């Protein structure tokens, strides 16, 4: 009986601990969001007017207004995803810092992986060739070009001896 109550108490304490670790979503309604919260959303969006400038770093008046819109939406209780969807509906996918994973946009995610794997394979192959000793090509040439012994007839030998006698007399 005592052991069963200890086990029950242990399970209750474990459950309370686990529940305390789960982040509780605070209702942002009625409170002003901080600049960090606004910039966390703005960092995920690009300025629709300027080229390749994140909304949190852009200093134009339009970007100031859009950050104000983000602040208002957060104060109303909108989530980051809802705000991003709002801007996508207004200006299109080009405002997203990370392209949506659909259609042709998959190439942005696939090409770097293919290049990385291909480069790793080429590096491995090159390293293996560098490490493996190649047979000496001169040894192969010598083996192939070594003449075979030639047998001479008696007439050939007598002609060579006669030529040598003539040259030695000069």
Q: Point out the least confidently predicted range of 25-34, 39-48, 49-58.
A: 25-34
First-to-last CA distance in the chain?
A: 130
Gap between the Cα atoms of 28 and 37, Å rounded: 11
Domain extents in the chain: 25-98, 101-131
What pLDDT is recorded for position 162? Answer: 92
- The answer to whether 32 and 70 have CB atoms below 8 angstroms apart is no
Average pLDDT, the chain: 79
Gap between the Cα atoms of 101 and 114, Å rounded: 17
Per-residue pLDDT tens digits for 98-133: 777 777 767 877 888 999 999 999 999 988 888 877
Gap between the Cα atoms of 161 and 170, Å rounded: 15
Q: With 60 as the cut, is the pLDDT of residue 24 above it?
A: no
| Residue 104 or 75, more confident | 75
Gap between the Cα atoms of 47 and 61, Å rounded: 11
Q: With 50 as the cut, is the pLDDT of residue 165 above it?
A: yes
Positive or negative CA dihedral for 34, 36, 41, 45? positive
Q: With 50 as the cut, is the pLDDT of residue 25 above it?
A: no
What pLDDT is recorded for position 155? Answer: 92
Burial class (CB in 10 A: 0-12, 13-18, 19+), 155: exposed
Q: With 60 as the cut, is the pLDDT of residue 66 above it?
A: yes
pTM exceeds 0.85 for this model: no
What pLDDT is recorded for position 138? Answer: 56
| C-alpha distances out from residue 153 to 27, 43, 79, 102, Å | 113, 96, 105, 87
Residue whose entry in the numeric block shows the structure tokens 């690009």: 46
Of the chain, the percentage scoring pLDDT greater than 70 comes to 77
Q: Which CATH architecture has domain 25-98?
A: Orthogonal Bundle (1.10)
């Amino acid at each position: 009986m005592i052991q069963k109550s200890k086990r029950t108490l242990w399970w209750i304490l474990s459950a309370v601990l686990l529940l305390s670790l789960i982040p509780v979503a605070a209702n942002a309604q009625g409170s002003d969001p901080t600049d960090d919260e606004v910039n966390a959303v703005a960092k995920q969006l690009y300025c629709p007017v300027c080229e390749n400038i994140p909304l949190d770093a852009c200093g134009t008046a339009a970007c100031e207004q859009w950050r104000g819109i983000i602040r208002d939406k957060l104060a109303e209780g909108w989530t980051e995803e809802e705000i991003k969807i709002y801007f996508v509906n207004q200006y299109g996918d080009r405002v997203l810092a990370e392209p949506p994973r659909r259609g042709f946009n998959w190439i942005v995610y696939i090409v770097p992986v293919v290049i990385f794997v291909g480069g790793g394979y080429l590096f491995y192959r090159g390293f293996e060739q560098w490490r493996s000793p190649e047979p000496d090509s001169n040894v192969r040439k010598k083996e192939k070009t070594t003449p075979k012994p030639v047998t001479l007839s008696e007439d050939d030998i007598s002609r060579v001896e006669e030529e040598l006698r003539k040259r030695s007399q000069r």
